[in-house]
Amino acid sequence: MSTGIEARHARTCGSRSGTRCDCTPTYQASTYDAQAQKKVRKSFKTISAAKPWRQDAAVAVRAGELTARRGPTLQAATDQWLLDMEAGHERMGSGMAAQAT
């Protein structure tokens, strides 16, 4: 198997108990983001789809275009949204200012 790509088998697959694989595995490609100190991962149905993604992802991580960093938590995003509503910055679909209750 290629470096940075691993087969992911079903929980009930025979390969987990040392017998022959009886599932259709997916393939997880990963590359390491040194700045975030985490792996960037993505799953694919075929190994032939995982290989080019991993190569492109490695280049994008080095260029700073892809990162393993996560966005804000739901709580942080909600808190910011409420602050924006109270300040009158958030708008409803009609264009009217939203009001915090």
Q: Does the pTM exceed 0.75?
A: no
* Structural domain boundaries enclosing 78: 71-101
Same domain, 49 and 79: no
Q: What pLDDT digit, counting tens, does each position of 31-72 carry?
A: 999 998 999 999 999 999 999 999 999 999 999 898 888 778
Same domain, 35 and 78: no
Same domain, 19 and 52: yes
Q: How many domains does the chain have?
A: 2
Note the Cα 94 to chain centre separation in Å.
33
Same domain, 89 and 41: no
CA distances from 7 to 18, 22, 30, 74, 94 (A): 15, 13, 12, 32, 49
Per DSSP, the three-state class of 42 is strand
